[in-house]
Amino acid sequence: MGKKRLLLAEDDELLAGLLNFRLEKGGYEVKLSSDGREVKEHLTTYSPDLIISDIMMPYFSGMELIDYVRKELNLSTPIIIISSAGNEENVLTAFELGANDFISKPISPSELLVRIERELQKV
């Protein structure tokens, strides 16, 4: 069984690098994207098992990305949203648009791994 492919969309390079390191170390194949447009491009050529996205990104926000995946691409790929703007409104909107999970920053990489594992098991 091959590695699960993850798409990580995070504009903060430090955090992205850290998470990338941890996720790869956790046995996942990770594609990094630093903005929303790049994520769109990736998605046209690459179909991940799970998408991890920040909300606030250049060009395309995390919310728009959910909407794009669910409505335009009609994909049921699990989406985990990570954001420092963990207010109720964002969380509710994200779930309404079709996000599978929401993690507020600061995030614990260990926790993220557990959540990814859980979502992948659902699929």
Residues forming the site for another protein (CB under 8 A): 12, 14-15, 17-18, 21-22, 25, 105-111
The distance of closest approach from Cβ of residue 105 to another protein in the complex, given in angstroms and rounded to an integer, is 6
CA dihedral 35, 114, 47, 122 (to 10 degrees): -140
Identity (one letter) of the amino acid at 82?
I
- Cβ nearer to another protein, comparing 53 with 77: 53
User: Please, which residue, 18 or 75, has the CB nearer to another protein?
Assistant: 18
* 90 closest CA partner among 113, 64, 114, 119: 64
For the bound state, the minimum distance from the C-beta of residue 104 to another protein, rounded and expressed in Å, comes to: 9
Nearer to another protein by Cβ, of 68 and 104: the residue is: 104
Q: Going by DSSP bridges, is the β-strand pair 28-33/50-54 parallel, antiparallel, or unpaired?
A: unpaired
